[in-house]
């Protein structure tokens, strides 16, 4: 696999230098690996900090800006950032109104953010934490690390970010974030594995003519492997898997998300099938977002996320946002 | 008695072992993880060695606490906090005053360190994690360092038929069976490095 890199060791730092050059509205601290809104801390407003392994771009770094994240901490590729980064980010963005950590439910992210909560509190910063765990492919049992955080992260960061922008207090921003996560479910498929810079070859071997169902966003294989299916069949399988775990009465936000290597042409075609299936299942749709938002390096494939919204959540979702990766209104 | 030099040798040997075995660790992490265990630990232990050279802590407890802090600050993922906690708690249990510690005291401190790892990760032996190497190693430490290294290696080997219940491999369910756990493998390297430090 040929990659557009110098050496694997500098992939994250190189990308951060490039982000700094492209986005003067952000402060990109390449050495300490923290991306911060230039106007932070914003007086009287709650700040949102997220982070995770790199390789999921635009998540999280490109979601920093007015209406979404206050700061993001990129780790090494597919590796949680370290507590030092999170504490530095929290200190940079806290206006005194408190900081909400948005954490995807992976063992590493949870452990590092938990340590950061303690350290930040020692520094006098009021911190709350919300876990994102929307992936229905992992059974939420005692025998696994629990459901993974995937596509719903975008909805959590967007809606909680809008609430913070409105000046809502920390406990409200936190409870809205939790509500968005509780109302969201996702399912993903891979048509091809991804290649991490450190390894330089695909993370799993997927023979031609087969696909992985129920994959996460770290190049880990999925729940089962089947003979290749059509877009229509994959849409049926994915939507049905999500609806097995939720029964939306209110309209839903739909994220049809590319894993990195699947062209928009295919994603839009897939979205047509997803919308057909949702209509067949009687699910009302409020908004649809199609694109590569929560990616897995160069993995081919897609995920479907549904988030059930009431009027308030929909209004916050529609509120203006201005970040490198997501931008509308205002 | 074991002095600060012994613990520095342990960390240096661990860094060398991780360097030597990085590709193997990453390869093991590939089918049931995300193919970065080797490079993550390389980065961490390189930082440990650099910090020990720069700060030259004078006691066994201080060496391990500094090493643990470095791992937490540089590795990330789950292995950073877990290995960091192992060394930090072991170091805290030894305290920073004693210039030398006996083997029995080290064994008790390591037991406390391993218990802290189990608490932090919420894992138990048999879950296909680093504990499957660390727990038998501490038990065998009463005999000798070499016996502990053997026990850790056997424990890591024995993870192959297990089904993962913690960490990223747990998402695979039954499909994690038949793969040796990368965390247990690196834990065995850490114990082997301890035996190496004692064998001077």
Domain boundaries, chain B: 2-198
At A38-60, the pLDDT tens digits run 999 999 999 999 999 999 999 99
Q: For chain A, which residues make up each domain, given as ranges?
A: 8-182, 184-315
Range A8-182 has CATH code 2.60.260.20: no
Contact at 8 Å (CB) between A157 and A48? yes
pLDDT at B81: 96
When pLDDT is averaged across residues A114-141 and rounded to a whole number, the result is 91
Mean pLDDT of chain B: 95
Using CA atoms, how far residue A136 sits from A158, A187, A206, B18, in Å, is 21, 6, 22, 36
When pLDDT is averaged across residues A140-153 and rounded to a whole number, the result is 80
pLDDT at A201: 83
Query: Shortest Cα distance from B6 to chain A (angstroms)?
Result: 28
| Three-state secondary structure readout of chain B | CEEHHHHHHHHHHHHHHHHHHHHHHHHHHHHHCCCCHHHHHHHHHHHHHHHHHHHCCCCHHHHHHHHHHHHHHHCCCCHHHHHHHHHHHHHHHHCCCCCEECHHHHHHHHHHHHHHHHHHHCCCCCCCCCHHHHHHHHHHCCCCHHHHHHHHHHHHHCCCCCCCCCCHHHHHHHHHCCCCCHHHHHHHHHHHHHHHHHCC
The string of DSSP codes covering A156-225 is HHHHHHHHHHTT--HHHHHHHHHHHHHTEEEEEEEEE--B-TTT-SBSS---TTEEEES--SSS---SEE
Q: Report the percent of chain B where pLDDT is more than 90.
A: 88
pLDDT at B59: 98
Q: Return the CATH number of the domain spanning residue range B2-198.
A: 1.25.40.340
Nearest CA in chain A to B25: A199
At B39-80, the pLDDT tens digits run 999 999 999 999 999 999 999 999 999 999 999 999 999 999
Closest CA to A325 of A70, A62, A19, A69: A62
pLDDT at B23: 93
Q: Is B32 an interface residue toward A (CB < 8 Å)?
A: yes
Q: Considering only CB atoms, which chain B residues are within 8 Å of A115?
A: 72, 81
**Furthest CA-CA distance within chain A:** 55
When pLDDT is averaged across residues B125-136 and rounded to a whole number, the result is 97
Q: Given a cut of 90, is residue A223 above it in pLDDT? A: no
Query: Shortest Cα distance from B147 to chain A (angstroms)?
Result: 31
Q: How confident is the model at residue A224 (pLDDT cuts 50, 70, 90)?
A: confident
Closest CA to B60 of B188, B154, B169, B194: B194
- Give the architecture-level CATH label for domain A184-315: 2-Layer Sandwich (3.30)
Of A37, A148, A158, A218, the active-site residue reads A218
At B166-193, the pLDDT tens digits run 888 888 888 889 999 999 999 999 999 9
Collapsing DSSP to helix, strand or coil, A293 comes out as coil
pLDDT at A160: 98
At B143-155, the pLDDT tens digits run 999 999 999 999 9
Q: Is A88 an interface residue toward B (CB < 8 Å)?
A: no
Q: Is B39 an interface residue toward A (CB < 8 Å)?
A: yes
Using CA atoms, how far residue B20 sits from A7, A8, A227, B155, B186, in Å, is 19, 18, 39, 21, 11
pLDDT at A143: 62
Q: Is B119 an interface residue toward A (CB < 8 Å)?
A: no
Collapsing DSSP to helix, strand or coil, A310 comes out as coil
When pLDDT is averaged across residues B124-134 and rounded to a whole number, the result is 97
A218 is catalytic: yes
At A4-45, the pLDDT tens digits run 999 998 999 999 999 999 999 999 999 999 999 999 999 999
pLDDT at B101: 97
pLDDT at A264: 98
Mean pLDDT of chain A: 95
Q: What is the DSSP letter of A323?
A: -
pLDDT at A66: 98
Q: Given a cut of 60, is residue A150 above it in pLDDT? A: yes
Of A33, A37, A45, A56, the active-site residue reads A56
pLDDT at A140: 55
At A170-215, the pLDDT tens digits run 999 999 999 999 999 999 999 998 998 888 888 778 888 999 999 8
At A260-312, the pLDDT tens digits run 999 999 999 999 999 999 999 999 999 999 999 999 999 999 999 999 999 99
At A97-107, the pLDDT tens digits run 999 999 999 99
pLDDT at A199: 80
pLDDT at A204: 79
pLDDT at A138: 82
pLDDT at A330: 76
In the block, residue with structure tokens 């070499």: B146
Q: Considering only CB atoms, which chain A residues are within 8 Å of B34?
A: 78-79, 196, 203, 218-220
pLDDT at A141: 53
pLDDT at A305: 98
Using CA atoms, how far residue A63 sits from A24, A49, A118, A136, in Å, is 14, 10, 25, 24
When pLDDT is averaged across residues B10-37 and rounded to a whole number, the result is 92
Q: How confident is the model at residue A1 (pLDDT cuts 50, 70, 90)?
A: low
B173:A144 CB<8 A = yes
When pLDDT is averaged across residues A81-100 and rounded to a whole number, the result is 98
A60 is catalytic: no
């Amino acid at each position: 696999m040929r990659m557009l890199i110098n050496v694997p060791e500098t992939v994250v730092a190189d990308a951060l230098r490039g982000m700094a050059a492209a986005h003067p509205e952000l402060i990109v601290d390449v050495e300490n690996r923290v991306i911060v809104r230039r106007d932070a801390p914003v007086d009287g407003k709650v700040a949102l900090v997220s982070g995770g392994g790199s390789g999921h771009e635009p998540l999280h770094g490109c979601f920093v800006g007015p209406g979404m994240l206050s700061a993001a901490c990129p780790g090494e590729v597919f590796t949680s950032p370290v507590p030092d980064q999170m504490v530095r980010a929290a200190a940079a963005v806290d206006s005194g109104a408190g900081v909400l950590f948005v954490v995807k439910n992976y063992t590493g992210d949870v452990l590092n953010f938990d340590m950061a909560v303690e350290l930040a509190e020692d520094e006098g910063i009021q911190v709350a934490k919300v876990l994102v765990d929307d992936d229905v492919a992992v059974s939420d049992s005692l025998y696994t690390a629990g459901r993974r955080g995937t596509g719903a992260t975008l909805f959590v960061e967007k809606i909680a970010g809008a609430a913070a922008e409105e000046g809502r207090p920390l406990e409200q921003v936190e409870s809205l974030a939790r509500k968005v996560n509780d109302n969201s479910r996702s399912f993903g498929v891979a048509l091809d594995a991804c290649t991490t810079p450190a390894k330089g070859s695909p993370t799993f071997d997927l023979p031609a003519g087969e696909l992985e169902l129920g994959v996460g966003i770290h190049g880990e294989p999925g729940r089962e492997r089947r003979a290749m299916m059509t877009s229509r069949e994959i849409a049926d399988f994915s939507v049905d898997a999500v609806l097995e775990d939720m029964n939306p009465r209110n309209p839903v936000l739909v994220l049809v998300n590319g894993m990195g290597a699947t062209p928009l042409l295919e994603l839009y075609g897939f979205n047509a099938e997803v919308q057909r299936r949702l209509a067949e299942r009687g699910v009302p749709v409020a908004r649809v977002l199609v694109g590569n938002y929560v990616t897995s390096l160069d993995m081919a494939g897609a995920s479907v996320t549904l988030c059930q919204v009431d009027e308030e959540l929909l209004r916050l979702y529609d509120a203006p946002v201005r970040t490198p990766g997501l931008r509308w209104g205002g | 008695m074991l002095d600060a030099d012994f613990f520095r040798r342990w960390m240096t040997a661990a860094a060398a072992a991780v360097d030597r075995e990085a590709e193997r660790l990453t390869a093991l992490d590939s089918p049931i993880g995300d193919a970065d265990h080797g490079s993550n630990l390389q980065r961490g232990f390189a930082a440990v060695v650099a910090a020990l050279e720069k700060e030259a802590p004078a006691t066994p407890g201080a060496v391990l606490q500094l090493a643990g802090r470095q791992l937490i600050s540089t590795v990330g993922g789950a292995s950073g906090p877990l290995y960091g906690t192992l060394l930090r708690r072991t170091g805290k249990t030894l305290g920073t005053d004693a210039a030398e510690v006996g083997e029995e005291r080290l064994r008790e401190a390591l037991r406390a360190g391993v218990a802290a790892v189990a608490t932090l990760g919420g894992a138990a032996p048999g879950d296909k994690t680093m504990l499957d190497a660390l727990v038998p190693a501490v038990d065998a430490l009463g005999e000798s360092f070499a016996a502990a290294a053997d026990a850790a290696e056997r424990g890591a080997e024995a993870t192959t038929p297990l089904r993962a219940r913690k960490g990223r491999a747990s998402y695979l369910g039954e499909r994690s069976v038949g793969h040796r756990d990368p965390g247990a493998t690196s834990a065995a390297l850490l114990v082997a490095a301890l035996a190496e430090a004692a064998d001077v």
